[in-house]
Amino acid sequence: MSRRVTMMQMRSQPVGAWTRTLGRGSRLPATRYLSGLDAPLDWRRALSLHRRLLAGELGVIGEVSRNESDTKPTLAVLLLGMLVAGLGAWLWVVIDTRGAEIAGPALNVLLLGTVASLGAWALWLGLTWHALRSIFQVEVGWRDLMRPMSLVGGFAVWQFFMLAGPASFAVGLIATIAGVLLAVLAVRAAAPLADDRAAIISVGVGFGVYALVLSLAADLLGIGSGLFVHAIG
């Protein structure tokens, strides 16, 4: 009888009552960690954030770090940036080969290259977050870091102009360097306690692995997007 009463009490608890322990005894509703993903994607918000970033409004980086509802919009910005970068790299290959290769690069550059870029970016994010916490003892929520990092990842959209023939590598390199610098700003926005040294080293660790993975994928597997399309053997 007591077991049945206990089960009924558990069922009667509202979803918001479930909590997750963080640190020493502090408890926060689990719904806080689900709200950003449960919310429907606001495409207008995503496009607005992307436009503001590309217009040089750097304050938007800190804004998304503080706004949990921007989780999906910033991920959409990242995906758009990677897809457009892949499209530019694919068009460069098509133009460079005078149309002799279309289907192969569409698979290895536009599709698989974009997937590889997203996977490598996830490693970049994870290693940056880990370096902040383990090396510099800076506490930062991974979603608080993911949102601004996703947003600045959308800067890769400028790699679309890699299709500009001889200037292709230069365009890709400039866009990549700018993306790394913006990632440092993203870390500073998400983790105010991190100084310049911590932000630069943490981003550098993550980007180093990001570049290594994509370079190896391009050279060994023939898969690449953006700047790394030039490393395809």
- Interatomic CA distance for residues 136 and 128, integer angstroms: 11
| pLDDT higher than threshold 90 for residue 97 | no
DSSP string, 127-167: HHHHHHHHTS-----HHHHHHHHHHHHGGGGGGGGGGSGGG
Give the pLDDT band (50/70/90) at residue 32: very low
The 3-state DSSP class for residue 20 equals: strand
pLDDT at 6: 41
Tell me, what's the pLDDT at 159?
95
Q: In angstroms, what CA-CA distances link 217 with 16, 108, 147, 150, 214?
A: 44, 10, 26, 22, 5
Residue 165: band (very low, low, confident or very high) from pLDDT cuts 50, 70, 90: confident
Check: CB of residue 165 under 8 Å from CB of residue 95: yes
Summarised one tens digit per residue, pLDDT across range 190-230 is: 999 999 999 999 999 999 999 999 999 999 999 999 999 99
The 3-state DSSP class for residue 25 equals coil
Domain boundaries of the chain, sorted by first residue: 41-231
Report yes or no: 152 and 60 within 8 Å, Cβ to Cβ.
Answer: no
CA dihedral (109, 160, 127, 53) positive or negative: negative
Q: pLDDT tens digits for 46-79?
A: 999 999 999 999 999 999 999 999 999 999 999 9
Calculate the alpha carbon distances from 23 to 26, 28, 42, 132, 139 in Å: 6, 11, 33, 17, 11
Q: What is the pLDDT at residue 37?
A: 56
**36 pLDDT higher than 90:** no
Query: What is the average per-residue pLDDT within 125-133?
Result: 97
| Amino acid 24: pLDDT | 36
